Structure 1
Amino acid sequence: MLLRILDRFEEILISVLMALAVALIFVAVLHRFSIGFAADLVGWARAYELPWLMDFARSTFKAINSIKLTWAQEACIYLFVWMAKFGAAYGVRIGIHVGVDILSDRLRGPAKTIITVIAMSGGILFTAIIAWIGAEFVWHVRAGGQTSPDLEMPMWIIYLAVPLGSALMCFRFIQALWIYLRTGEIAHHDLASVEGVREEGRDVAEGGHG
């Protein structure tokens, strides 16, 4: 039950972060385009001596320019950092991370089990170290009272993505190792389930038979 809740929370969090980042980028680009368009309209109205249009364009420019979105780029960066850290843990869970498996694929029996366990244990150790170092770093940043330039948010909240995401990734490696030791199965994303890849693979196969 708790695992299902964690899985769902992970998926919702990544989706929300991605949606917020995309929406914020869209609004920022639209805002920048609107300011440029209003400025050009002022110049065009002045050139063709249309005072009513020039007044309208000036008021529109002032209204849009009064909306400050200088923080948008910084916010997008932080959203993508959080999304990447938790997305990495999600990738471990469903098996979409790129891996060098040329050796393990050639091995059979106990040798393959040993190599796989060593590889997963390496992932557990590495992510645990990153989580520990990240937690210490966050603690020191919090004590220093550092804030972000534009959002003026406490930087320790932003850096919290490192220990939290790494800890979750470590847990996913432990979970994957436990499943492998019990069932011998490793989470693997089937590329054949992707529409474009499946069709391309079918074309290649048909061409080879031809």
Structure 2
Amino acid sequence: MMMRILDRFEEILISVLMALAVALIFVAVVHRFSLGFAVDVVKWARVHDMPALQAAARSTFAWINSFKLTWAQEACIYLFVWMAKFGAAYGVRIGIHVGVDLLVERLTGTAKKAMTIIAISGGILFTGIVAWIGAEFVHHTWKGGQISADLEIKMWIVYLAVPAGSALMCFRFVQALWLYLRTGEIVQHDIGAVEGIEDDIGDFPLGGQR
């Protein structure tokens, strides 16, 4: 039950972060181009001696400019940082980061098993170290009281993505290792598969007739 909640939380968090980042980028781009368009209209109205249109364009420019989005770029960067860290953990879970390379595939028996265990254990060790170092860095940042330039939020909240995401990634590697030790299977992701869509083509991947 707890694992299902964790899996669902992971998926929802990544989806929400991605949606927020895309929406924010869209709004920022529209905002910037709207300002440019209003300036162009002011210039055009001035050249063609249209004071009413010029005044309207100036008012529009002032209204749009009142919405300050100088923080948007910084916010997008932080959203993508969080998304990337938890996305990496999700990748381990579905098998994108857990695989056997060409060398290991050529091995058999005990040698192949040993190399696979070493490879997955390396992922556990690396992500565990990153999580530990990241946690210490977050602690020092929290004590220092550093804040971001535009959003003016505590930077330890931003940097928390590193230990949190790395810890979850480490846990997913542990899961992968435990699965391999119990069943001999490695979680692998089929890059040609689309979640939620069943394959009605059978053995005809190019869409041929049955």
Q: TM-score, normalised by structure 2?
A: 0.91
* SS of equivalent to 2:108: coil
One-letter amino acid of the counterpart of residue 4, structure 2 = R
Q: Does 1:88 align with 2:96?
A: no
Note the C-alpha offset of 1:99: 5.3
Note the C-alpha offset of 1:98: 7.5
One-letter amino acid of the counterpart of residue 71, structure 1 = W
**Structure 2 Cα separation of the partners of residues 173 and 46 of structure 1:** 65
Q: Does 1:145 align with 2:145?
A: yes
**Structure 1 Cα separation of the partners of residues 41 and 98 of structure 2:** 50
Post-superposition CA distance 1:120-152 (Å, at most 9, x none): 111001100000000000000000000000000
**Structure 1 Cα separation of the partners of residues 98 and 164 of structure 2:** 22
* SS of equivalent to 1:73: helix
Post-superposition CA distance 1:46-73 (Å, at most 9, x none): 1111111111000000001111000000
**Structure 2 Cα separation of the partners of residues 28 and 105 of structure 1:** 48
* SS of equivalent to 2:192: helix
List aligned pairs for 1:106-185, cutoff 5 A.
106-185=106-185
Distance 1:98 1:40, change over 3 A: farther
One-letter amino acid of the counterpart of residue 113, structure 1 = K
Number of aligned residues: 200
Residue 19 (structure 1) aligns with: 19
Post-superposition CA distance 1:85-137 (Å, at most 9, x none): 00000000001138561121111111111111101111001100000000000
**Structure 2 Cα separation of the partners of residues 191 and 72 of structure 1:** 33
List aligned pairs for 1:187-206, cutoff 5 A.
187-193=187-193, 202=205
* SS of equivalent to 2:137: helix
**Structure 2 Cα separation of the partners of residues 97 and 175 of structure 1:** 13
Residue 4 (structure 1) aligns with: 4
RMSD: 1.7
One-letter amino acid of the counterpart of residue 59, structure 1 = S
One-letter amino acid of the counterpart of residue 97, structure 2 = H
**Structure 1 Cα separation of the partners of residues 139 and 17 of structure 2:** 24
| Runs (5+) with no aligned partner, structure 2 | none
**Structure 1 Cα separation of the partners of residues 147 and 193 of structure 2:** 44
Residue 72 (structure 1) aligns with: 72
Residue pair 2:98, 2:120 contacting (<8 A) in 1 also = no
Residue 186 (structure 1) aligns with: 186
Q: TM-score, normalised by structure 1?
A: 0.91
* SS of equivalent to 1:82: helix
One-letter amino acid of the counterpart of residue 39, structure 2 = A
**Structure 2 Cα separation of the partners of residues 186 and 99 of structure 1:** 7
Note the C-alpha offset of 1:191: 2.7
Note the C-alpha offset of 1:192: 3.4
**Structure 1 Cα separation of the partners of residues 190 and 35 of structure 2:** 46
Post-superposition CA distance 1:16-51 (Å, at most 9, x none): 000000000000000000000000000111111111
